[in-house]
């Protein structure tokens, strides 16, 4: 009886370790040459695990010196161009079939699990899209906003307008951006958001709720120049507005429950 | 017997509750005081910074060499920025302080503008001296009022927390000395004649309205606007298209248009009244997983622009979010990138359909027969103006808006320094450095 127990235990341990061992093998069926490269063409602006792969391989060869973050920026672009130049290909900074094959061939010893540090986690199946937890910094009208500024913006949008239609949320983000440009308001994201009395969500603490993907999307759209409010710098909810003065501002339009004005 | 125990317990409970209440009260007072002190600090700082602005402006009027002038003016600029920051920390957002804020920002911008101009290291010319002198006297007025208010706050123990409550009140006419002080300050600034800062600076000021005069075409009626959307989107009828004229606070005369598709998703548009140009479009349909890559999406974007009569074809920036490709496209004429004619196009990477457009800049800057000036400086010559620390990788001719918001023909050099990439703009007319931008 006891021996039977020991055997099952040993077997399950063996099975478990086999499973753990098998995991990376499934990702890399033939040694280290196989890759998570997809067939899509990568250009500046691309995001995803295949970009990580690209950066990892370029770093392995010494062309790329930045961090492996899965977003194809200028750093990756120059690395690709240098690689293409060195290998006698057309230098266009795009990673199509030819560049991909040449790169995989040139990086025979490349092992994504023993890389020049920090590579992709696992799941080789995921191809497109943002990997989720990372927020990139962005530029807006010549100013660059940090990744944390974007998070603050998403918090503010969610706290102020989570029950509103999506355009209404984009409009709120646009109002904050318009205020940054306006000499009557502070010129930073935190300055505008935390101005005393400016936003009710800040006053009652709702800004500290965790924002959803919709709020983050609204912020990104506003940064790309979307402004459903057409230039508003104030907005209010007519049902709850406590200030008379706000009614005297020239109004623009109503979106959802908010009236936008200048 | 029983009642005695009960009363004893009750008394004890009362004592405990009273003690607890007292402690809560003390804690609340401490917090209120803390908040009050933060407001007080911002307010007294503001007064201090206004005082310094005035001092430094005074110095700049008195000195006679650029060597002394530049520090005084950059200090003014810095203090103006501090003052703006102080106001941002005060609970004044429900109060019209526009003119005062505008004045402070004008002081900062103008002193910076004069401080960095490099005309043979000269001190002020007559016009600059006059303008600075006006700023000096006006800032003195503001500072005097602030100082008066400051004295009242200190001697009468006025509290900012009271001012905050007074401002938040709806119906009652406020009777708060702090609020009144700021109101009268705003009034003083409002009554002053607007200053002219010369053509360059006046252009730099933020316009609260876009000029619809630059647009061509006739005014469109709401019915015509719906018709334009119907044709633009290739719809069968104008049913489900709601057109609404925007209110008087708008940037330019415009319609807000919403369309509800048969499957329930919504689409939104902004259209100029004059000419019926679409400045913004957003399609809220859900986007499935990508089947088109970012490079193919670019072709969809450029073809779509061409099919919709938008003359922009040079893709300068590509990004991707949530299976949507975002393309920043600028105009192209005789091999010159026309940056003012900029549109942002969003392509859904599931089908290649365009789901977003932001064309406000394009609509207000695009000219039918734009003439691009002749290059006066060769590319090689211009490249020598780029810092030797930057390795130039690419170059283009580009028409850009300079600091004074005027179109200028430049060479755009894309260069690297270590890991970072910069776009450096050198004037193609006189070889001056027009601007630099760090790109990612």
Mean residue pLDDT of chain B comes to: 88
**A25 & A125 share domain:** no
CA distances from B256 to A218, B279, B324 (A): 19, 10, 24
From B39, B53, B117, B43, select the one nearest B81 (Cα to Cα): B53
**A148 & A218 share domain:** yes
CA distances from A32 to A107, B133, B151 (A): 9, 73, 76
* Best mutation target, B40, B41, B319, to test chain A (most A CBs within 10 A): B319
Structural domain including A180 reads: 138-261
**DSSP assignment string, B226-270:** HHHHHHHHT-S-STTEEEEE--TT-SSSEEEEEEE-TTS-EEEEE
Cα B413 from Cα B416, distance rounded (Å): 10
pLDDT of residue A25: 41
pLDDT for B123 beyond 80: no
pLDDT for A47 beyond 90: no
Contact in structure between A141 and A199 (CB atoms under 8 Å): no
Q: Which range has the top average pLDDT, A134-148, A157-171, B426-440?
A: A157-171
**Banded pLDDT at A31 (limits 50, 70, 90):** very low
User: Contact B247/A166, CB-based, under 8 Å?
Assistant: no
pLDDT over 70 percentage in chain B: 95
Q: How many CB pairs under 8 A join A and B?
A: 182
Q: Which of residues 110-169 of B touch A (CB under 8 A)?
A: 164, 167-169
**A113 & A39 share domain:** yes
pLDDT for A44 beyond 70: yes
Contacts of A184 in chain B (CB under 8 A): 97-98, 101-102
From B385, B393, B394, select the one nearest B435 (Cα to Cα): B385
Question: How many domains does chain A fold into?
Answer: 3
Contact in structure between B397 and B383 (CB atoms under 8 Å): no
Please check whether residue B191 touches A, CB under 8 A.
Answer: no
**A148 & A252 share domain:** yes
Q: Examine the fold and report which residue of A133, A161, A177 is the final residue of a domain before the chain moves on.
A: A133
From B345, B328, B342, select the one nearest B400 (Cα to Cα): B342
| E strand or H helix at B37 | helix B2-62
Contact in structure between B211 and B182 (CB atoms under 8 Å): no
> B407 versus A112: which is more confidently predicted?
B407
Residue B411 β-bridge partners:
B397, B426
Orientation of helix B126-155 relative to helix B98-116, angle to 10°: 140
Encoding tokens for residue B107? 């002081």
- Nearest 5 degrees, angle CA A155-CA A131-CA B414? 90
Encoding tokens for residue B438? 């760090």
Mean residue pLDDT of chain A comes to: 79
For residue B109, the chain A residue with the least C-alpha distance is: A183
Contacts of A244 in chain B (CB under 8 A): 170-171
| Shortest alpha-carbon distance between residue A3 and chain B (Å) | 53
pLDDT of residue B242: 93
User: Contact B102/A251, CB-based, under 8 Å?
Assistant: no
CA distances from B402 to A214, B200, B383, B432 (A): 36, 11, 19, 11
* Best mutation target, A38, A39, A41, A45, to test chain B (most B CBs within 10 A): A45
**A186 & A225 share domain:** yes
For residue A135, the chain B residue with the least C-alpha distance is: B321
Encoding tokens for residue B308? 């919709």
Give the mean pLDDT of B56-84: 89
Please check whether residue A181 touches B, CB under 8 A.
Answer: yes
Contact in structure between B269 and B257 (CB atoms under 8 Å): yes
pLDDT for B215 beyond 60: yes
**Banded pLDDT at B172 (limits 50, 70, 90):** low
User: Contact B294/A251, CB-based, under 8 Å?
Assistant: no
pLDDT of residue A28: 41
**A161 & A113 share domain:** no
Q: What is the ipTM of this complex?
A: 0.87
Please check whether residue B101 touches A, CB under 8 A.
Answer: yes
Give the mean pLDDT of A126-131: 38
Q: A142: domain CATH number? A: 1.10.10.2520
pLDDT of residue B171: 54
**Banded pLDDT at B214 (limits 50, 70, 90):** confident
User: Contact A197/B84, CB-based, under 8 Å?
Assistant: no
Q: A37: domain CATH number? A: 1.10.101.10
**A15 & A90 share domain:** no
User: Contact A144/B438, CB-based, under 8 Å?
Assistant: yes
Give the mean pLDDT of B415-420: 87
**A82 & A182 share domain:** no
User: Contact B251/A142, CB-based, under 8 Å?
Assistant: no
pLDDT for B212 beyond 50: yes
Provide the b/e sequence for B141-170 (b: ≥16 CB within 10 Å): ebbebbeebbeebeeeebbbeebbebbeee
pLDDT for A27 beyond 50: no
Please check whether residue A75 touches B, CB under 8 A.
Answer: yes
**A120 & A151 share domain:** no
**A256 & A143 share domain:** yes
**A115 & A160 share domain:** no
Q: Residue A64 — φ and ψ, nearest 5°?
A: -110, 135
**A1 & A47 share domain:** no
Of B89, B96, B326, the CB nearest to A196: B89
User: Contact B249/A250, CB-based, under 8 Å?
Assistant: yes
Please check whether residue A132 touches B, CB under 8 A.
Answer: no
Say which range, A20-29, B126-135, B233-242, B282-291, has the weakest mean pLDDT.
A20-29
Q: Examine the fold and report which residue of A110, A133, A156 is the final residue of a domain before the chain moves on.
A: A133
Encoding tokens for residue B142? 């503001």
Q: For the beta carbon of residue B324, count every other beta carbon within 10 angstroms.
A: 21
Q: Is B406 exposed, middle or buried (0-12, 13-18, 19+ CB in 10 A)?
A: exposed
Contacts of A220 in chain B (CB under 8 A): 321
Q: Examine the fold and report which residue of A106, A133, A160 is the final residue of a domain before the chain moves on.
A: A133
**Banded pLDDT at A141 (limits 50, 70, 90):** low
Encoding tokens for residue B368? 């039918």
pLDDT for A224 beyond 90: no
Place of tokens 């430049």: B410
* Best mutation target, A81, A225, A238, to test chain B (most B CBs within 10 A): A225
Please check whether residue A92 touches B, CB under 8 A.
Answer: no
pLDDT in tens, B90-116: 988 777 788 898 899 889 988 988 888
pLDDT for A131 beyond 90: no
**Banded pLDDT at A15 (limits 50, 70, 90):** low
């Amino acid at each position: 009886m006891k021996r039977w127990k020991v055997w099952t235990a040993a077997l399950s341990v063996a099975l478990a370790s086999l499973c753990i061992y098998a995991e990376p093998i499934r990702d890399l069926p033939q040694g280290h040459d196989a890759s998570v490269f997809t067939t899509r063409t990568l250009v500046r602006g691309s995001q995803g695990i295949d970009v990580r792969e690209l950066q990892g391989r370029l770093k392995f060869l010494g062309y790329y010196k930045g961090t492996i973050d899965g977003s194809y920026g200028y750093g990756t672009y120059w690395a690709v161009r240098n690689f293409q130049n060195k290998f006698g290909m057309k230098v266009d900074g795009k990673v199509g079939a030819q560049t991909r094959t040449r790169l995989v061939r040139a990086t025979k010893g490349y092992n994504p699990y023993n890389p020049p540090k920090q590579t992709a986690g696992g799941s080789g199946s995921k191809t497109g899209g943002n990997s989720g937890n990372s927020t990139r910094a962005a530029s807006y009208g010549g100013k660059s906003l940090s990744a944390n500024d974007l998070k603050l913006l998403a918090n503010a949008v969610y706290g102020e307008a989570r029950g509103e239609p999506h355009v209404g949320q984009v409009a709120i983000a646009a109002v904050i951006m318009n205020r940054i440009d306006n000499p009557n308001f502070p010129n930073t994201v935190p300055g505008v958001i935390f101005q005393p009395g400016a936003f009710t969500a800040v006053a009652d603490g709702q800004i500290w709720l965790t924002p959803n993907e919709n709020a983050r999307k609204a912020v990104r759209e506003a940064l790309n120049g979307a402004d459903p409010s057409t230039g508003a710098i104030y907005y209010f909810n007519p049902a709850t507005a406590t200030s008379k003065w706000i009614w005297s501002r020239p109004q623009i339009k109503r979106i959802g429950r908010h009236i936008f004005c200048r | 017997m029983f009642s005695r125990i009960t009363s004893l317990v009750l008394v004890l409970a009362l004592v405990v509750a009273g003690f607890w209440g007292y402690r809560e009260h003390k804690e609340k007072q401490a917090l209120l005081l803390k908040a009050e002190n933060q407001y007080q600090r911002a307010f007294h700082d503001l007064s201090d910074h206004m005082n310094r602005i005035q001092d430094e402006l005074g110095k700049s009027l008195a000195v006679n060499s650029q060597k002394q002038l530049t520090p005084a003016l950059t200090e003014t600029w810095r203090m103006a920025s501090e003052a703006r920051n102080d106001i941002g920390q005060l609970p004044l957002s429900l109060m019209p302080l526009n003119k005062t804020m505008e004045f402070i920002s004008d002081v900062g911008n103008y002193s910076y503008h004069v401080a960095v101009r490099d005309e043979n290291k000269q001190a002020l010319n007559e016009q600059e001296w006059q303008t600075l002198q006006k700023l000096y006297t006006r800032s003195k007025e503001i500072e005097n009022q602030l100082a008066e208010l400051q004295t009242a706050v200190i001697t009468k123990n006025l509290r900012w927390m009271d001012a905050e409550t007074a401002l938040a009140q709806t119906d009652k006419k406020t009777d708060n000395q702090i609020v009144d002080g700021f109101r009268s300050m705003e009034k003083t600034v409002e009554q002053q004649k607007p200053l002219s800062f010369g053509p360059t600076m006046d252009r730099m000021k933020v316009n609260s309205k876009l000029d619809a005069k630059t647009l061509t075409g006739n005014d469109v009626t709401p019915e015509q606007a719906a018709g334009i959307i119907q044709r633009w989107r290739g719809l069968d009828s104008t049913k489900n298209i709601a057109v609404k004229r925007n209110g008087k606070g708008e940037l330019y005369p415009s319609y807000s248009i919403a369309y509800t598709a048969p499957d329930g998703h919504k689409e939104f548009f902004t259209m100029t009244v004059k000419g019926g140009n679409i400045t913004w479009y957003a399609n809220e349909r859900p986007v499935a997983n990508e089947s088109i890559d970012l490079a193919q999406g670019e072709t969809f974007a450029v073809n779509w622009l061409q099919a919709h009569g938008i003359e922009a074809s040079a893709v300068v920036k590509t990004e991707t979010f949530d299976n949507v490709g975002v393309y920043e496209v600028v105009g192209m004429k005789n091999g010159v990138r026309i940056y003012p004619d900029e549109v942002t196009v969003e392509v859904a990477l599931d089908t290649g359909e365009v789901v977003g457009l932001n064309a406000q800049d394009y609509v207000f800057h695009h000219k039918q027969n734009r003439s691009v000036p002749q290059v006066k400086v060769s590319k090689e010559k211009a490249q020598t103006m780029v810092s030797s620390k930057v390795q130039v990788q690419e170059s283009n001719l580009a028409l850009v808006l300079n600091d004074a918001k005027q179109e200028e023909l430049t060479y755009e050099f894309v260069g690297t320094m270590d890991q970072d990439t910069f776009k450096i703009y050198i004037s193609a007319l006189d070889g001056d450095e027009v601007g630099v931008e760090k790109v990612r």
